[in-house]
Structure 1
Amino acid sequence: MTGIDEVARLAGVSTATVSRALSGRGHVSESARLRVQEAASALGYVVSSRASSLASGRTRNIGVIVPFLDRWFFSTVLSGISAALMREGYDITLYNITADEDMRRHVFDTFLRRQRVDAVIAVSIELDDDETRHLLDLGLPVIVIGGPSSPLDTLTVDDMAVAQLATEHLIALGHRDIAHIGASPAFDLDFHIPTNRRRGFERAMANAGIPLDPAFFEPADFTVEGGYRAAKQLLGRPGPRPTAVFAASDEMAVGAILAARDLGVAVPEDLSVVGIDGHELGEFFRLTTVDQFPFRQGERAAEAVLATLTDGEAGGIPAALPFGLNVRGTTARRVQRENLPAQGGMPPY
């Protein structure tokens, strides 16, 4: 196995210079750094993580806590975290918080206290007082995506503002009979995202002087199947039918589009549909959405953690996460049915 001494001889520098050049800690001239990197590459030398940890007191490993691994949003945020950390030579230890309360407690009481990570990122998990105290007691940098999670550093998306923007887009297109596919109370868990999105919808409607129709709200579970079932109820029951749907997630919006197709309701001629998230399926379905850039959320969380490890604070990383309206083909100005062309709507999939 190639050792650091061989790399030093080939590069014509000391072993200390090799260590500084490959770890990124300490001053090394650019020419020496390049010679060391070329020598290490030629010899197939890789820095021992254990030796590096002993020398620096760092594991170069970040703990990431997520509530779900099988849902697109969380896996996309995780991909952003991983990409940013890998660029800087850091590994990830993943902790999946399940519905099992004992397992969740074990993560905070035992796993994180083993001191195998340099920092912690919590993704869309509302931490209780005990969990927050456990994290603070570790003495490690902690970044939370979701928030607010005072006294922890938090990166947040304003879910009320996100939903308000989506609804205002429909209102600007002339829609007044706007339905909302949201979530049942059982799904309204960490940070009350579904409730905040419903409040943003209601605020936009109130600002426009549009009365809310209780019949135009249908709960779902933030899945395509849930959105499909909810839209079937909204569009298939007797009585007035909405001309637009604001779904609190892109997956539910896609379900609404599929339900409309099955009921012979043309999108966007008969029904405009807007979602939230920036889901990868959005481009395929030409879905109008408010993109909250989940991959970039993960990158920002990783950058904040690395800044804290380097500078002692996450300064320069904005706490408010960006979002933006992406208008595609599922929303259109409200027109009378008799004025519609004979052909139209979404293409078959």
Structure 2
Amino acid sequence: MATTIVSNKRKRNTVKLKSPTMYDVARLAGVSQPTVSRVLSQSEDVSQISKETRRRVLAAVEQLGYRPNAVARSLRTQKTRTIALLLADLSNGFYHPIARAVQKIAREHDYEVLISSSDHLHENEIHFCEIVLSRGIDGVLMAPQRLTMEELSHYVSQTNIPFVALGEHVDHPNIDIVFVDDEKATYETTRWLIEERGHRRIGYFGVPPFLPPGPGRTRGFLRAMEEAGLSVNPNHMQEGDFTLESGKQAARALLATGGNLPTALMVINDLMAIGAILTLQEAGLRVPDDIAVVGFDDIPEATIVRPALTTIAQDAYDIGQKMATALFERIENPDIGERRVYESTYKLIPRQSA
């Protein structure tokens, strides 16, 4: 038999609050609805509207809490108000400040950010570009590693949206870049190991030459050694793939060569440097007494590992800011013109590992 449950609670009278409309904004600001639309969509002729009128419209929007319908706005302006960000490895702390800076500036422009990680894989970079073209993204920020310039050129030619890339290896007339002078930074730091720390037998852990920023950093190391009249033992040069595990593998390969070990290691990034330190310590070697280790990036883990890692610090947040600022300038002013190049800073952070 069915049971009927009767509640003793009184039925509350609820009033559904109506969301403010563009009509409400126009009435409060004392202007027409088309004027409100032009102000909010930042249409090309918005400069013809007086500053006082624009101020009244924006004040009414703030007072009423009005939020334009995103779908309707995208249909009207042909913009999705979404940008895409491709990073090489979200597990690498170097990229976190870049993402934070991009998100902050995007929010200031009322944009959302689609973030993706390639995990250093070519197929993931290809997939990202395909997604960008199919989803109507308004602009692209990327740190490409595996894409060839021919492949990147193909995707750029398929769209009118702006691209901004991280790294001076991206040489394309329609792509603005932000870069750090990797060769100079590694050159100066290798000279520091030679001149300030007295090392003569220095090894290098890098990556395959087709992986940026490998070529620039490797050139800097080799140039410093050559100018100092120092030879490099081929056994002391090992390759990885930017990961902590590959740093461990490179250190194991170095130890397996036998003979005289280097007294210092210049390592292409912090994760590999930390991996090398852990493996060297497991083998009973003391860092820096037996082998000094220097990294590149200054990720948060650099201060946690023991001994704390001497490293070349990049201002990753500044890199993200520069990339996002350049992109939004292109989005808002498509006719800016020729390719622009922005250089970010670096500095050596001496700690206990070297």
TM-score, normalised with respect to structure 1:
0.79
Matched, 1:163 2:186: yes
Q: 1:136 to 1:74 in 2, by over 3 A?
A: farther
Find the counterpart in structure 2 of residue 295 from structure 1. Answer: 317
Find the counterpart in structure 2 of residue 306 from structure 1. Answer: 328
Structure 2 counterpart of 1:158, which letter? D
> Which of the residues 76, 80, 83 maps onto 2:104?
83
TM-superposed deviation, 1:218: 2.4
Contact 1:305-1:314 at 8 Å conserved across structures: no
Provide the rounded CA distance (Å) in 1 between the counterparts of 2:191 and 2:118.
Answer: 35
Contact 1:127-1:149 at 8 Å conserved across structures: no
Find the counterpart in structure 1 of residue 16 from structure 2. Answer: none
Matched, 1:72 2:90: no
1:301-346 Cα offsets, whole Å, 9 max, x none, are 21111112223356799614323223231355xxxxxxxxxxxxxx
Single out whichever of 21-30 and 120-129 deviates more from structure 2: 21-30
Q: Give the secondary-structure state (helix, strand or coil) at the position aligned to 1:268.
A: coil
> Which of the residues 213, 231, 236 maps onto 1:216?
236
1:69-89 Cα offsets, whole Å, 9 max, x none, are 444344543333222222211
Highest Rg: 1 or 2? 2
**Equivalent runs, 1:199-210 vs 2, <5 Å:** 199-210=219-230
TM-superposed deviation, 1:48: 1.9
Find the counterpart in structure 1 of residue 5 from structure 2. Answer: none
TM-superposed deviation, 1:203: 0.8
TM-superposed deviation, 1:144: 2.2
Provide the rounded CA distance (Å) in 1 between the counterparts of 2:245 and 2:252.
Answer: 11
> Which of the residues 159, 166, 171 maps onto 1:149?
171
Find the counterpart in structure 1 of residue 114 from structure 2. Answer: 93
Structure 2 counterpart of 1:211, which letter? S
Find the counterpart in structure 1 of residue 81 from structure 2. Answer: 60
Provide the rounded CA distance (Å) in 2 between the counterparts of 1:105 and 1:20.
Answer: 37
Structure 2 counterpart of 1:296, which letter? D
1:132-183 Cα offsets, whole Å, 9 max, x none, are 1332231222222223332332423333223212212211221111111123
Contact 1:162-1:323 at 8 Å conserved across structures: no
Contact 2:86-2:128 at 8 Å conserved across structures: no
Q: How many residues align?
A: 326
Find the counterpart in structure 1 of residue 28 from structure 2. Answer: 10
Provide the rounded CA distance (Å) in 2 between the counterparts of 1:302 and 1:321.
Answer: 14
Q: 1:182 to 1:67 in 2, by over 3 A?
A: closer
**Equivalent runs, 1:1-349 vs 2, <5 Å:** 1-24=19-42, 26-27=46-47, 35-94=56-115, 97=118, 99=121, 101=123, 108=129, 111-114=131-134, 116-125=136-145, 126-146=147-167, 147-155=169-177, 156-173=179-196, 174-183=198-207, 185=208, 188-191=209-212, 193-234=213-254, 238-285=258-305, 286-312=308-334, 319-332=341-354
TM-superposed deviation, 1:59: 2.3
Q: Give the secondary-structure state (helix, strand or coil) at the position aligned to 1:124.
A: coil
Structure 1 counterpart of 2:84, which letter? G
Find the counterpart in structure 1 of residue 7 from structure 2. Answer: none
1:186-237 Cα offsets, whole Å, 9 max, x none, are xx5444x324322221111001111111232222332222223433554576
1:227-262 Cα offsets, whole Å, 9 max, x none, are 234335545764323221111101111223333443
Contact 2:309-2:352 at 8 Å conserved across structures: yes
Contact 2:176-2:340 at 8 Å conserved across structures: no
Q: 1:323 to 1:234 in 2, by over 3 A?
A: farther
TM-superposed deviation, 1:123: 1.8
TM-superposed deviation, 1:6: 1.6
Provide the rounded CA distance (Å) in 1 between the counterparts of 2:339 and 2:101.
Answer: 15
Provide the rounded CA distance (Å) in 2 between the counterparts of 1:134 and 1:231.
Answer: 39
Contact 2:41-2:77 at 8 Å conserved across structures: no
Q: Give the secondary-structure state (helix, strand or coil) at the position aligned to 1:92.
A: strand
Provide the rounded CA distance (Å) in 2 between the counterparts of 1:106 and 1:271.
Answer: 42
Q: Larger helix proportion, structure 1 or 2?
A: 1
Provide the rounded CA distance (Å) in 2 between the counterparts of 1:219 and 1:169.
Answer: 23
Question: Which consecutive residues of structure 1, in runs of 5 or more, have no partner in the other structure?
Answer: 333-349
Provide the rounded CA distance (Å) in 2 between the counterparts of 1:32 and 1:227.
Answer: 61
Q: Give the secondary-structure state (helix, strand or coil) at the position aligned to 1:306.
A: helix
Question: Which consecutive residues of structure 2, in runs of 5 or more, have no partner in the other structure?
Answer: 1-18
Q: Give the secondary-structure state (helix, strand or coil) at the position aligned to 2:304.
A: helix
Identity of aligned residues (%): 30
Q: Give the secondary-structure state (helix, strand or coil) at the position aligned to 1:138.
A: coil
Q: Give the secondary-structure state (helix, strand or coil) at the position aligned to 1:72.
A: coil
1:109-131 Cα offsets, whole Å, 9 max, x none, are x5333361222223224344244
Contact 2:180-2:346 at 8 Å conserved across structures: no
